[in-house]
Amino acid sequence: MPYFEHKNGMTPESILQATFGFDAFRGRQRTIIETLTRGTDALVLMPTGGGKSLCYQIPALLRPGCGVVVSPLIALMVDQVAALRQAGVAAAYLNSSLGTAEQRAVEQQMLAGTLDLVYIAPERLLQPRCLDLLGRCEIALFAIDEAHCVSQWGHDFRPEYLQLAALAERFADTPRIALTATADGPTRREIVERLRLHEARQFIHSFDRPNICYRVAERGDSRAQLLRFITEEHANEAGIVYGLSRNKVEQTAAWLCRQGIAALPYHAGLDHAARTAHQRRFAREDALVVVATVAFGMGIDKPDVRFVAHLDLPASIESYYQETGRAGRDGRPANAWLLYGLADVVQRRRMIEQSESSEARKRIERHKLDAMLAYCEISSCRRGHLLRYFGERPQTACGNCDTCHAPPETWDATEAARKLLSAVYRTGQRFGAQYLIAHLRGERDARAARFGHTQLSTFGIGADFSHRQWGSLIRQLVACGYLDVDLAGYGGLRLDERARPLLRGEQVLHLRRVRKAQRPGERTKRRAGIAAEDAPLWEALRALRKQLAAAQGVPGYVIFPDTTLLEMVARRPASDAEFLALSGVGQKKLAAYGAPFMQAIAIHGAGSADTVDQK
């Protein structure tokens, strides 16, 4: 009979309820757990916040021995182990943050068989000494988290992940599970090949994160736009702001602080101690904004990140999806907000062309950038575009993105595009956007006179369009591939071969119409969901959680996430049975925290138990 029916009389359901405090499995979690517990390998693609961890944590508790989790980040290991210990699971980690004595203590626990789970970085796991240790232990399973790091074409490639294929040979009888939230078809095939998971069962879940509202805004004054977004929609809430350069990250964080918003920078140029301190503060504080390069984020386990903002265009849909997936892990409403302009296109294409990558790599990066540009310019449902990129076929619009909330108008841009393309051609295909806009609008200056461009037939033929309208058209024509940017020179615009049919009148072009920036409507704004009469209890529960977490040196969400606190406000548990019925409350947390939280609830009385919006 399979282990999951017999080990200590436990079943997946009994562990789920008694240890982790959940009533039922989601999606295909139960099947994945059975597959791994029976000893069969698995490849799991599940969106961030979808419950990947339970897919290997529960089998590790059901199978004999210790489960080994390959995790790429120390901060992630520390938080996950803290959360497991809170639930009563014997868990530890092996990494460079431990002293020699602490490492030996963990190793002795592994050899004695007293650990259920141990988290190890791939670099350490592959060291001969560590492999020898594992060979002397009873290993329940290997879980390879963030498995997309094995892909050399991916956005988070880690060379050490390539060596993890050795586990298939050295521990041939031990089941392995590879997990990721981000992998298109080619990346999935690469994971299978490089980790030798040819016989693994594949579980491909939907990439949809319905609680995230996807929004793209045309860049104007980016700092003012960011400040308005945070203050109007996410005051006193945790969020991540991504910028492309270290300098931009530093300056933006400092500027936000001057505006009264608690913000910290994070990038690879900071020393290790500063990065660690900033990441620790972000995990433990309720209303902190981290302004970061892409060096920050993989493995972020904080469930109450309410927004992810991009001040620069991501390099690909995969990286964008991975980064936005750090918002709303608790299932509550969250925003993914992106600013975008022509300069992004120029900058990203220049980065590709000036890199030392092979031509094959550059072709892939150009394709990924084109997909990202199409996402920004699309006039239909943004979520649908994301899901189609990952191979899904949504049948309806999502109703929770900017293009669904306020569908953009499209217009016949054929004639205007032909005017612009003609102006590019007649001025010599070497001038940038601002010069061309001035030329089309008939604005005379010294350069136009010197080059004789005021005498061209295209001079002034676009006076009926504003600077913003022409700028939007140029951006869309570049994004659609009708115009190229001279990356070797000074950013002049040139005609692409695809422009010829349009110039000859053989093609009709419809584009999205530029419009004034919209203030977020009620459907876009996220409401706190706490009635006025319930606010004192809500704040009291958060204060108690903060106090308990600080005493133990763990993030507040490790004690209870916001979703559980909201349930307390709504249901007002007054007995052990009622408290145990809350989502995320198992036997260990009932024993540790039931009394103080129920006392806080009793102090605030019955309140308005049906007024909490938990959508």
Q: What is the pLDDT of residue 193?
A: 92
241-261 core/surface letters (b: 16 or more CB in 10 A; e: else): bbbbebebbbebbeebeeeeb
Assigned token pair, 390: 């990952």
**Tokens, residue 319:** 């990286």
Place of tokens 């901060």: 75
Q: Where are the alpha helices (DSSP H) in 113-245?
A: 122-125, 128-135, 166-170, 185-194, 222-233
CATH number listed for the domain at residues 3-204:
3.40.50.300
Q: Is the dihedral of CA 365, 368, 370, 372 positive or negative?
A: negative
Residue 25: φ, ψ to 5°: -75, 155
Token look-up 């020179």 returns 489
Distance CA 264, CA 253 (A): 6
Please answer whether residues 445 and 434 qualify as being in contact, where contact means their C-beta atoms are separated by less than 8 angstroms: no
Q: Determine the topology of domain 212-405 in CATH.
A: Rossmann fold (3.40.50)
* pTM of full prediction above 0.85: no
pLDDT computed for residue 489 by the predictor: 62
Beta strands in 289-404 (DSSP E): 289-292, 305-310, 334-340
CATH topology of domain 410-512: Arc Repressor Mutant, subunit A (1.10.10)
- Chunked into runs of 10 residues, the chain (615 residues) has average pLDDT values of 54 93 92 96 88 94 95 82 94 89 94 95 90 95 90 69 90 94 81 93 91 93 95 94 94 96 93 88 90 76 92 91 90 94 85 85 84 88 90 90 90 92 92 92 88 92 92 85 75 87 90 65 48 88 93 91 92 94 94 95 66 39
Tokens representing residue 216 in the block: 């793209």
Separation of alpha carbons 456 and 465, rounded Å:
18
Paired strand residues for 214: 336, 401
Q: Which residue ranges make up each domain of the chain?
A: 3-204, 212-405, 410-512, 532-603
- Measure Cα distances from 119 to 81, 297, 439 in Å: 8, 18, 62
Residue 289 φ then ψ, to 5° = -105, 130
Cα gap 139→525, rounded to integer Å: 48
The pLDDT, as a whole number, for residue 14 is 93
Pairing mode, if any, of strands 201-204 and 42-45?
A: parallel
Cross-sheet strand order for the sheet of 212-218: 212-218, 334-340, 305-310, 238-242, 289-292, 263-266
**How many C-beta neighbours within 10 Å does residue 528 have?**
11
Q: Are 68 and 81 in contact (CB under 8 A)?
A: no
Structure tokens at 536: 């004192």
From residue 205, alpha-carbon distances to 216, 276, 335, 577 in Å are: 26, 33, 22, 34
* Cα–Cα dist 126/131, whole Å: 6
In 423-458, which positions are buried (b, 16+ CB within 10 angstroms) versus exposed (e)?
A: bbeebeeebbbebbbbbbbeeeeeebeeeebeebeb
Same CATH fold assignment for domains 3-204 and 532-603: no
Query: What distance in Å separates the CA atoms of residue 191 and residue 153, rounded to the nearest whole number?
Result: 11
In angstroms, the Cα distances linking 234 to 31, 212, 304, 306, 442 are: 38, 14, 12, 7, 43
CA Rg, the chain, in Å?
Answer: 27
Closest CA to 462 of 494, 426, 496, 497: 426
Of the options 3.30.1330.40, 1.10.3720.10, 1.10.580.10, 1.10.150.80, the CATH number for the domain spanning 532-603: 1.10.150.80
